Structure 1
Amino acid sequence: MNKQHIINNAEYFIHDEPYYEPSANEVDIFNSALAENIPVLLKGPTGCGKTRFMEYMSWYHKRPLITVSCHDDLSTSDLVGRYLIKDNSTVWQDGPLTTAVRNGCICYLDEIVEARKDTTVVIHPLCDDRRILPLEKLGELLPASPDFCLTMSYNPGYQSAVKDLKPSTRQRFISIDFSYPAENIEAAIVHQESKLSMQQCEHLVKLAHMTRNLVGNGLEEGASTRLLVHTAKLISRGFEANLACKCGVANAITDDEETKKLLHEMIDTVF
């Protein structure tokens, strides 16, 4: 049986600086956690910049970044690795977590609560003083590279008894709370990403805040910064702002006809 470990680290590097506007002290907190080998949990609503933040920190520290989008069917083998049949022999193939541990990458588990609970337990030995990854199928305890960093994200808005982090997992991490940026910063982000005029971007942000005020009263979540960027790009392509907002915001965040009608009225008011 062969083991396959070597990767081309270059493919995991962020070569161009991602645009990111800090909204609080999240950069300083992450820098300190990285220096002390402390795992980091990012909490915040959909589309508020958690993934962009990780890309920025990867670029800033010149550390390779491996991102795993978690889902209900994510198994321990998907994270750690498995044996594969290749050329009439059995070859061990590292999973993304093992690859990160071996090669000193930042491993980012996006929306960790979507993964099965038995899968997340495998990260526990990595998140304390041991910093080891048990590879049961290899009979090996893999020590983490000094540069390895584990980060996770989740959306507290979808928190439930079924989908929540166990205290035994949560208390291995420091937590950074993310929210939507202040209005002036959010408008600047939308402007930078879409090249739409600042005035139009400010109108979009105003609309977003109106939708966020409806959370719990017809909406699970308001319009995200990501949705605003998508909508701004439609406007930049020549679509009328009213139509772009109905397609990019209202119809994207709800299917309820009464709520959509209310959102359309808001759009007519702003634009």
Structure 2
Amino acid sequence: MRTNYELSDKMTELLNSYNRNSNAFQELIGEGGYMPPNQELLIDAISALSMGKNILLKGPTGAGKTKFAETLSMLFQQPMFSVNCSVDLDAESLLGFKTLANKDDQQVIEFVSGPVINAMQHGTFLYIDEINMAKPETLPLINGVLDYRRTITNPFTNELVSANKGFNVIAAINEGYVGTVPLNEALKNRFVVIEIPYIEGEQLKQLIQENTQLNDEHTIDLFVTLSADLIQAVVQGKIAEDAASIRALLDACDLSVLIPAERAIQRAIVDKLEEDREREFVLNLAATLF
């Protein structure tokens, strides 16, 4: 069994003493960290990473996948190199590129490491965002990085790069969006999958209080209700997932400090939607609540 990390005594104690009614993980994360709706998600992610396994965070847009990855990086005290996937992602974006440089008054060709090579050589986390946005022929370049070998032959230098202790991969995926492609089985099998749902209820209220400038409790409660209604509408297929983005909701909360809440919701949420039917639905919800 491959083990990349030794958990701190505090983390080990909290993991061992955890129970469903415990507030231990609030202490573990501290202020400003991401608290998953289901605390088992955090336990499972910590356990997988401590054993050297890659994790794939799967969930709707704005559910907090990137914040979750940043929190894991903080908990392990590991810096994190990032890759933002798109259809234009290529080997240079992942691994690095060659460039001309001056050395001893002469021009030489140097290799500038990309995020994958940097994370491997420094023994840190690698975060691959929207991994299913990349072209299917691009990601197999790093299959050896993602499995037990933890190595890659750099095509630009022919050097065999082996990951240092501490290296691990966290990826995030939004399924069903325009431009995304299904992950092939060879790639998916290299990850432990963790489903990230929306934050709701008291946790969402706390998130708003700690991460926005809104401090009026009544208005915060209304935004929490709005979020619950939007999530329910997404489940029922009435609106797109974008409408229930927690990130967008936090923007609306901030704006509502300076402009009317209905207009804040329009700017942060409604105007991002493509269909008139969806826009009208969210505006009616906002008008009813605010």
Q: TM-score, normalised by structure 1?
A: 0.87
What amino acid is the match of 1:20? Answer: Y
Residue in structure 1 matched with residue 96 of structure 2 by the alignment: 81
- Verify the 8 A CA contact 1:18 1:52 in the aligned structure 2: no
Contact 2:243 2:270 in 1 (8 A): no
- Contact 2:81–2:124 (CA<8 Å) still a contact in 1? yes
Matched residues, number: 253
| Partner deviation per Cα, 1:216-239 (whole Å, 9 max, x = no partner) | 334354321111110010112x21
Q: How far is the alpha carbon of 1:57 from its aligned partner?
A: 1.2
2:154 pairs with 128, 131, 135, which one? 135
CA separation of 1:224/1:96 partners in 2, compared to 1, >3 Å: closer, same or farther?
A: same
For 2:169, which of 145, 150, 172 is the aligned residue? 150
| Aligned match of 2:265 | 245
The answer as to whether partners of 1:188 and 1:198 remain within 8 angstroms in 2 is: no
SS of aligned partner of 1:152: strand
- The answer to whether structure 1 residue 33 and structure 2 residue 48 are counterparts is yes
**1:223-242 maps to which residues of 2 (within 5 A)?**
223-236=244-257, 238-242=258-262
Please list, as runs of the form range in 1=range in 2, the aligned pairs for 1:161-240 lying within 5 A after superposition.
Answer: 163-196=181-214, 197-215=216-234, 216-236=237-257, 238-240=258-260
Measure the CA separation in 2 of the matches of 1:258 and 1:222.
Answer: 12
Q: Which residue of 1 aligns with 2:77?
A: 62
- Distance apart, 1:204 and its partner CA: 1.1
How far apart are the structure 2 equivalents of 1:62 and 1:121?
29
User: Mean alpha-carbon deviation: is it higher for 257-266 or for 94-103?
Assistant: 257-266
CA contact (8 A) 2:201 2:224 kept: yes
Q: Is the 8 A contact 2:238 2:278 kept in 1?
A: no
Percent identity of paired positions between Structure 1 and Structure 2: 26
2:233 is paired with a residue whose SS is coil
Give the superposition deviation at 1:183: 1.6
* Alignment check: 8 A CA contact 1:211 1:222 kept: yes
Deviation at 1:59, TM superposition (A): 1.3
The answer to whether the Cα contact below 8 Å between 1:133 and 1:142 also exists between their aligned partners in 2 is: yes
Amino acid at match of 1:223: A
Q: How does 1:101-116 map to 2 (within 5 A)?
A: 101-116=120-135
1:190 aligned counterpart, secondary structure:
helix
Looking at structure 1, the residues matched to 79 and 60 of structure 2 have their Cα atoms a distance apart, in angstroms, of 25
Q: Over the residues paired in the alignment, what is the CA RMSD in angstroms?
A: 1.9
Gaps of 5+ in 2: 1-29
- TM-score, normalised by the number of residues in structure 2: 0.82
1:46 pairs with 54, 61, 73, which one? 61
Q: Partners in 1 of 2:174 and 2:263 — Cα distance?
A: 29
| CA displacement at 1:208 relative to structure 2 | 2.1
How far has the Cα of 1:177 moved from its partner? 0.5
Moved over 6 A (4+): none
Residues 213 and 222 in structure 1, CA contact (< 8 A), matched pair in contact too:
no
Residue 137 of structure 1 and its aligned partner are, at CA, apart by 2.4
Give, as a single letter, the amino acid of the residue that structure 2 aligns with 1:222: A
Report the counterpart of residue 17 of structure 2 in structure 1: none
**Where does structure 1 lack aligned partners over 5 or more consecutive residues?**
1-15
User: Structure 2 CA distance, aligned partners of 1:220 and 1:232?
Assistant: 19
Kindly state the Cα deviation for residue 184 of structure 1 after the two structures are TM-superposed.
1.5
1:5-49 deviation digits (Å, cap 9, x = unpaired): xxxxxxxxxxx9643223221221121122211011000111111
Partner of 2:276: 257
Work out the CA distance in 2 between the residues paired with 1:149 and 1:17. Answer: 25
CA contact (8 A) 2:200 2:227 kept: no
- Assess if the C-alpha contact under 8 Å between 1:111 and 1:153 holds in 2: yes
Q: Deviations over 1:160-182 (max 9, x none)?
A: 8x611101000111011001013
1:3 corresponding residue in structure 2: none
